[in-house]
Structures are given as C-alpha cells and as structure tokens.
Structure 1
C-alpha cells in the first residue's frame, strides 16, 4: 500500500515518524485495542495531538479503575491498601503507560476485573472480562489454562472431571468464545488472518530485544553455527513456552484465587524469561499482579529494565552485554531466592 492510498489526515507524518520497522509490517494489535483507536477518530479525526490526548485520558481512566479494584482486592486478601501505590506511582507505569500510551494498564484492568468476579463467583462476568483483556493484549491468553484446575476440583480440593465440575469450565469457555466472536469477526477476512499471523511470528523469528535465556542460547548457537540462530530458535520457542506453561499450570494446580494469582505471576514471569523480546512496558503486567504477593522481584525488575533504554540511544540499537548481565543477574538472583529460599510465609491468603 502506498501513501497515496491513505485517506487518513496527517497519514504521511504518521508513516514517517513511526519508524521503518513498524512502517513495513502490519499491525499486531488485537481488535479491542484497535477499537480504542477508532474511538479517537470519532472525537479527533484530524489531529494527531488530539488523538494522543484522548488515548491518554482513556489510559488514565483505566488506571483509576485499576486503583479502585486493586484496593478492593487488597482488602479481600487482608493486605495493606497502600500497596496499590507500588503500581499506581511506579515510574515505569507512569512513563510507559500514561506517557508512551501502551495499553497494558487497560489490559490489566479487565484482568483484575475478571479475578474480582471470580471471587464473587460471577463466572459469566469473569469470562467476559478476561476475553476483553485478551482482545486488548494477547498476553492473558497464556492464563486461560489456569482455569482448568481451578474449576475442575471437588469439595475436597481434588482434581475431578465429574459433570458438575466440568460444566463450570465448559460454560466459562463458551462465554469466552461468544464474547470474542463480535470482536474477532474481522478475522473472517483471510488476508487479515494471514497478515496478523505473519506479524505475530516476527516476535519469535525476527525480533530480539532485552532477552535473557534467549541471549544465552543465541550465544551458544553462534559458537557452533557461526550465525544468529533466531529463526531456528523461533520455530521451537513457542512449543517450549507452551510446554513450560502447561507444566506450571498442572504442577501448581491453583485451588483458590490466592493460588491462581501466584501461579499467574510465576507463569507470566517464565514466559518473559523465555522470550526473545522483553520491552520495558511488558513488565507492567508483573507489577500489576505482584502487588498481591510478597514477591519483590517484579518491582526490582521494573526499575532495572529501564537500563534497556541504553539500547535506544545507540545508532545501530546494539545491546550491551554488561547491561543485560547486570539487569538479569539481579532479577534472577532475587527471583531464585524468593522462590526457593525465602522462609517467610506468603502474605496472600484468601479469606
């Protein structure tokens, strides 16, 4: 598509300023996320600045909603309500979400909303909320397997596939599908499906930024192959990630909301440890969930990941091995200590 095909005001400026990487690839935003972009065109169709202001207002409103729901959940778990400020006033959140207009905060709002409805046993509303969250960012899709052991348990807390337990899970899945249909109807266009799959695949086979385990594997691969094996790694990494997530899900088998949140935090952390690309705003999700735990590594990571901004300052965007080692050396050190050696009892317990 050439610029001449655009009918969007200031399309030329948008195209030029988005950078060559974004300009040559299709959008990877799910449909609900793009719905917010459509809303901006209703109120400000001829001004980039006006659209930015509207998006910023939407994100701030989502943060206020998250502030309200977060305090209610903290109260439910008998945790200090002031813990919400670990997210609400976190510099990374202020810079990357409110400042740079990333939608992790809106995604988190609906994710937390889904958890809140689970507590109230309003499973239909929970399914609707988690589906909308996925429609904003695909990341919560990784959490769906956690609902399997959560719903398939009897009164004794043991895994059961009896119909009265299976029915809850099947109902939840059906509501998710029915909620997704209106938003994802755009996928009925085969060209859209092809382009979207192609863009998502880039995260596994082309893009690399601030990875941890991936960089170690890449270094080993270069020693033996003589070139960057990202395309080879990218073919296997989704499978490795899926296996890891399923192992965590069924090994932990969350039986209540407290365990569900803890397992979700561990699951998403594992995903980011295995990812080829970990932009700073990705960690907002860990910070949002981390306020309900006694783990400190999400907040330490939210501070250390700002070191990756150094890469943006380099003409060729070359990453510093020293900075990567410093960031992940501390993060992995704290993570391992808190998971395996910390003796204090977990403070997140459901009533």
Structure 2
C-alpha cells in the first residue's frame, strides 16, 4: 500500500476523532473544515481503492463506526427524546399518550426519572412522539440496560452499528445478484462504507436510518431471491423503524398477479401493525396524526421545492402558506412516487425505482436533515446514478444554520446545495439511455 494511502488513512482517523469528540454543531468553521477534509480523503480513497486490499478498507470503515460508538451525539439532540420515551415505557407509561411539557411536574415524570435537565434538552417538548412502537420497545430496553445517559446511548446505538455491518454484507450480495463483477461490487460497497455522512450521521449521531437501510436492503434481497414472505417481513420492519419505507411497496406490486401482491401487502401490513397492538388506544391515532400533521405544516429546514413555493406564496399572499403548500407537496410526492413505481416506459431497475421514489419524497419535503439522504446513498450504490454521493458531500453545509448566534438558516447555502444536486441529476438523466427512450 502506498505512503499516500497510509497518510490518507491516518488523516481520516485524526479528522474523524476531532470531529466526533472535539466539535459541536455551533462551531461552524471547525465543523465545515473537518467535513471538507473527510470528504476530500473519501474521494482519494475511492479513486485509489484498488491499490489497497478490499478487506483492509472494509475493516477501516468498521473501525470508523466503532469510533462513533464511543462518543455522545454532538450534531443532533434527538437522542434525548429516545431516552424520554424509553424511560416512560420502561416504567409502564404509554409514550404516545403524554406530551413532555404536560407531565414534567407530575408524579409520572418523578417515577420515570424524567428530570428538568432532560426536559430542557428536548427539541420538541410540545409534540407527541412519532417514533413507531418497534423503536419504542428498544428505547425502553436501552434505558433499562443503561443506568446512566452514557450507558443508555451505548445500547441505543448498538442495533445501528450491527445494522450497518449487515448493510455492508447485503450491498455486496445485492450487487452480485444485479450482475456486477467482483471489482464493481467491491467498489460499490466502498462508496457507501467509507462515506463520511453515513459514518457520522448514523452510528455517530444515533439516527435509526441505519437500521432502516439494513431492513430495506434485506427486503430487496429476499424479493430478488423470490422469498416473498421474508421480503415483506423485512420491509415491514424497515417501516417499523421509520415510516418512510412504506413508499417503496407500490414498486413491488405485480399487476399481473394481484393475488401474490395482495399476500405481500397483507404480510407486510400484519408485521408492521402488530407492534401497535401493544400500545393500542384510539387516542394514539389522534396524537400521532397531530404530530405528523404539524411536521408537514410547521417544520421547515433545508427544503427545495417548498422554499421556492413558499417564497412565491409569501410574495403573493403576504404570509407563509406552509399549511397549504405542505399537504399539496405531499400529494404531488405520492403521485410521482406511483409514477416511478409503475411506469413501464421508464427502463429502471427495482433499486432505481426506489431511488427515484425517495428522491421525489425528499424534493417535495418541507424538512430534509442530512441523515435523511443516507438511505438514498445506499440505493444509489445499486443503481446507475451517483447524484446522492454529491448530495452527501453538500449536506454538511446545512450545519451553517447552527451558529454561535443561534439557529438561522442561510438560503444561499440551500440554493447552492440544490442547484448542484439537481444539476448533477439532470446531467445523469440526460446521459441515461432509458430516459432518452422515454422522451422519444
């Protein structure tokens, strides 16, 4: 192995260490500098990967994720809601029924160990939890196994770390199934395994998209292996971690065999809904619906189409029309997802249909945090498209919003991000044979 690649590895380890253990999201200059270094080193490693044994690079990817197991999340405060919900459930209280702000001074909070200090760290104390029952069960287990916040965070992270290991294996297997040779398969796995955004945002900052990706790829793997029940179960588990994978089901339906499709949907539906039975209460439906409605109507961060329409709407109407634009974009998103899932004119593989379904959702969303696109990154490895890799390099720029003076989003940064990503996507589409055939 060349001295250059040894230097790249050492620099990546050093930059990763300082990033995880010495940086906060309000340290904008340091944060972006380290992101820049990490992505530069990532580019060099991907360019020269063939000069290094594949197992060595995979080992490095695993070690970098192990680094993430050893620090407290520094770029996201979602972990505190995980702990809050977990302590509630561990003490026998249904987390879907209580607003943190309503129970802080009650006996419930006292019995569950929900302190004022923990409450102050929550980013949405006036919203009902939206984390599905499958996650809630693990939150409760983690808070039981870990007596301190640090110990709890370790247990909360463990499934994500194990899921990432499974994801690397699944990507390699799927690339083989899709007809890639060994060299192509190895490079594809490394595109995901060494990507700084995937490493930092999943294990490092404790986002369960890592577990979602694992179940999602397992669903695809079993589907291509003609194991429908296992596929439906895996996809249901992915949706049980994050609701979003439900958008991938339409692409799996076979219009020529509705009986088979119905069996698939019913299997996935039963597995997905089963954990809800342990929490069943009519109030839950109302509370989750309320929080999801607020998500689409009030939350806004790093959006593309929404910001454009918001600007036009504000200019015309004199106020922010998010209450109207959010649901409208959701309908547009659903329509386009169905188009990409079912269009016969588009010569896309199943992973590519999923890729564009998710891309559509993200472009229509009112909120796009950096970790939201990591599943897109995994799907891109299985496709002919690489624009998610460019997106992963640009998304860290959104942390500019968390400066020393408080949260303030810079729309110029957002504009640059989406212009580059959409430009890259446009270039790839213009050079894609299936798209050319569709236009003709």
TM-score in terms of structure 2 length:
0.71
What are the superposed Cα offsets for residues 5-42 of structure 1, whole Å, 9 maximum, x if unpaired? 212235333211123xx111111111112222122023
| 1:103 corresponds to | 208
Deviation at 1:316, TM superposition (A): 4.8
> 2:282 aligned with 1:190, yes or no?
yes
> 2:133 aligned with 1:13, yes or no?
no
Residues 140 and 252 of structure 1: is their aligned pair in 2 closer, same or farther, counting only changes over 3 Å? farther
How many angstroms apart in 2 are the aligned matches of 1:2 and 1:166? 48
Q: Residue 431 of structure 2 is aligned with which of 330, 333, 342?
A: 342
| 1:52 corresponds to | 153
| 1:309 corresponds to | 399
| 1:221 corresponds to | 313
Check whether the contact 1:248–1:263 (CA below 8 A) recurs between aligned residues.
yes
| 1:259 corresponds to | 349
Residues 344 and 146 of structure 1: is their aligned pair in 2 closer, same or farther, counting only changes over 3 Å? closer
How many angstroms apart in 1 are the aligned matches of 2:338 and 2:227? 26
How many residues matched?
327
Residues 210 and 175 of structure 1: is their aligned pair in 2 closer, same or farther, counting only changes over 3 Å? same
Matches within 5 A, 1:234-313: 234-252=326-344, 259-313=349-403
Check whether the contact 1:69–1:112 (CA below 8 A) recurs between aligned residues.
yes
What are the superposed Cα offsets for residues 129-177 of structure 1, whole Å, 9 maximum, x if unpaired? 00010010011011111122xx23xxxxxxx3xxxx2211111112112
How many angstroms apart in 1 are the aligned matches of 2:334 and 2:225? 30
> 2:174 aligned with 1:73, yes or no?
yes
Unpaired segments of 5 or more residues in structure 2?
Answer: 1-101, 436-440
| 1:169 corresponds to | 261
Check whether the contact 2:133–2:279 (CA below 8 A) recurs between aligned residues.
no
| 2:322 corresponds to | 230
How many angstroms apart in 1 are the aligned matches of 2:345 and 2:229? 22
| 2:65 corresponds to | none
How many angstroms apart in 2 are the aligned matches of 1:88 and 1:23? 35
| 1:156 corresponds to | none
Q: Residue 140 of structure 1 is aligned with which of 236, 245, 251?
A: 245
Helix, strand or coil at the partner of 2:343: helix
- Runs of 4 or more off by more than 6 Å in structure 1? none
Deviation at 1:80, TM superposition (A): 2.2
Deviation at 1:344, TM superposition (A): 7.2
Check whether the contact 1:210–1:308 (CA below 8 A) recurs between aligned residues.
yes
What are the superposed Cα offsets for residues 222-264 of structure 1, whole Å, 9 maximum, x if unpaired? 1101111111212322222212222222224789xx7111111
Unpaired segments of 5 or more residues in structure 1?
Answer: 153-159, 347-351
How many angstroms apart in 1 are the aligned matches of 2:214 and 2:125? 30
Check whether the contact 1:9–1:47 (CA below 8 A) recurs between aligned residues.
no
Check whether the contact 1:204–1:237 (CA below 8 A) recurs between aligned residues.
no
Q: Residue 145 of structure 2 is aligned with which of 43, 51, 75?
A: 43
* RCO comparison, higher one (Cα < 8 Å, 6+): 1
| 2:163 corresponds to | 62
What are the superposed Cα offsets for residues 302-335 of structure 1, whole Å, 9 maximum, x if unpaired? 1101111011226452221210111011000001
The farther-off stretch of 262-271 and 229-238 is: 229-238
RMSD value, Cα? 1.9
Helix, strand or coil at the partner of 2:220: helix
How many angstroms apart in 2 are the aligned matches of 1:171 and 1:301? 37
